[in-house]
Structure 1
């Protein structure tokens, strides 16, 4: 699902992002509720140029978080809740960011398990979330993309939560 957001682009660059688990739900620009095979329910939440995913007892927030020093770990594993997270920051050459964002928009626009938020003023300023509806191991998995055209950065995250 592709949504054009009526909100200012808040986050400024990848280095400003933090990861928080189990923080309260923050005000959202758009929410998409999903029911996955096996009875799993998720809420995909767009927050400015950030995201929040609520999956059972896990609430993942990747955003500029007041009171949190900016830090987006490359990996985080919390076996107590079966949570695995990875993050990568890409700085594509030339028109690489524009090409990647256009491909994401095309791929995810009609995906029933995706949400793409496009911010006003720059078609490349997006936050996208995509859930894998039925991973082979029975876990719940999602990927996100945060595009920062002003700094030519694309933040990719991947999360897996064991069920």
Structure 2
């Protein structure tokens, strides 16, 4: 689902992002609720140029926030793995050359615009200013997976995250 947002950027660059697990829901610009097989409920939430995913499933509850978080030092880890909870997170920051950011964002918008398991928020003033979330359609058995993209045209950065959660 492609949505045009009526809000300015809150985040300024990849260096300002933090990862938080277990926080409460923050005010959202747009929300997509998904009911998945097996009693899994997933809420994809756009927060400024950031995201929040809320997972409720038998044996698994999780809130993941990637955002500029007041009171927390900016630190987006490259990887987090918690074998106890079955949570695995990775983050990568790309700085494409030339028109690479615009090309990647255009492809992302085209790929996800009509996907019922995706939410793409486009911010006013720049077609490349997007935050996108997408539930991966075929994760390994017993898991749920999603990907996110945070585009910062003012710094020519694209932050990619991928999360896999074991459903017990």
TM-score (normalizing by structure 1): 0.98
Stretches of structure 1 lacking an aligned partner (at least 5 in a row): none
- Match of 1:133, SS state, is coil
Residue of structure 1 equivalent to 2:111? 107
Q: Is 1:63 matched with 2:67?
A: yes
Q: CA deviation at 1:38?
A: 2.3
Stretches of structure 2 lacking an aligned partner (at least 5 in a row): none
CA distance in structure 2 between the aligned counterparts of 1:127 and 1:18, rounded to whole angstroms: 15
- For the aligned residue pairs, the C-alpha RMSD in angstroms reads 0.8
CA distance in structure 2 between the aligned counterparts of 1:134 and 1:124, rounded to whole angstroms: 28
CA distance in structure 2 between the aligned counterparts of 1:38 and 1:68, rounded to whole angstroms: 35
- Match of 2:103, SS state, is helix
Q: CA deviation at 1:141?
A: 0.2
- Match of 1:89, SS state, is strand
CA distance in structure 2 between the aligned counterparts of 1:39 and 1:112, rounded to whole angstroms: 18
Q: CA deviation at 1:137?
A: 1.8
CA distance in structure 2 between the aligned counterparts of 1:72 and 1:33, rounded to whole angstroms: 25
